[in-house]
Structure 1
Amino acid sequence: MAVSVLAHWAGGSIFDIEPAALAGRGIRLLLADLDNTLVPYGVPEPTDAVRDWSAALAEHGVTLFVLSNNRHPARPERFARALGVPFIGHAGKPKPGSFFRAMEQMGCKPDETAIVGDQIFTDILGGRNAGIYTLLVEPIRLAGNPGRYLRYAVEWPFRALTKRRTQTL
């Protein structure tokens, strides 16, 4: 059986995700891609806006958990520790193993878990493979790597379809 690459919800950024709406859906664990989802590539620590959003999630009973494919272990570790949240680096998305490890670590089931990310073929496909609710955001910044332009160009039709059929959070 084929797994959909369309996200359940699409928005402009993480700040379009209302913590109360997630909690209202029964979400207790929000897995989040790091680079170009929470902050631009290379930003070592969370911004004040990300800190405030993470605190708002916690106030609604939703734990933020950084799930990053970054191959440099110090990057997601430094970011997550500065934010005070758990993390898995070099996650191997879209394979579902790291999604299941995060859920097990936090004591959550798939129907209590969501992922937010900026990439269809890692974050969204991985979330779909793990059976969790998927939230697609626009990449924060494409500059700096020609490969990113190509990747996002390939994703464009799927983004457009997702936006057309997206549900309210």
Structure 2
Amino acid sequence: MSKIFDTQLRGIFDRISAQEEQFEMAARLLAQAIMTEGEIYIKSFDEANFFNDYLLNSQEKLPKSKYYQGEHLTSADRIMVIAPHYTDQVHEMVAYLEEASIDYVLISNKSSEMIDSIMHFIDLKTSRAIVPNESYEKFITPHLMAINYVYYKLYILLEEMGCIDLNDYSSSERR
């Protein structure tokens, strides 16, 4: 089972990485907030809430990031919506952002219920469990690993764009 898990997880990461254009567009969108008067707001749902503290308080947080709690957003602000599944709550949030003309990045598994106009979408590629047991029932759905992987790909792109200065961290802080 361990080898199956490793193989399946590598496949998921490969399929996520193949979304190069989506990553580039998402990173550019977030960079706009960092380089202007905007803020990057994080809005997570369900299991993705697990990442809130890390995304907002770690040494590797995005500059100018805050948790979205219903604040008034300006055209300079960007919001990163993170959810394992495109639920009704996520749909309502995306519909609100579309109606308010607020630019956002949606990180979720693809769903047939998605709004057609979503422009900055990164698919987690974890819509189902990946490891079969002895009775061929599958378990382990690695949403959190995929979310973490997507976050770090965006983080690296933003660093390459000059939006994150790694020299701001002293060597003692990075341990």
TM-score (normalised: structure 2): 0.32
Report which structure shows greater RCO (CA 8 Å, sep ≥6).
Answer: 1
Decide which structure has the larger Cα Rg and report it. Answer: 2
TM-score (normalised: structure 1): 0.33
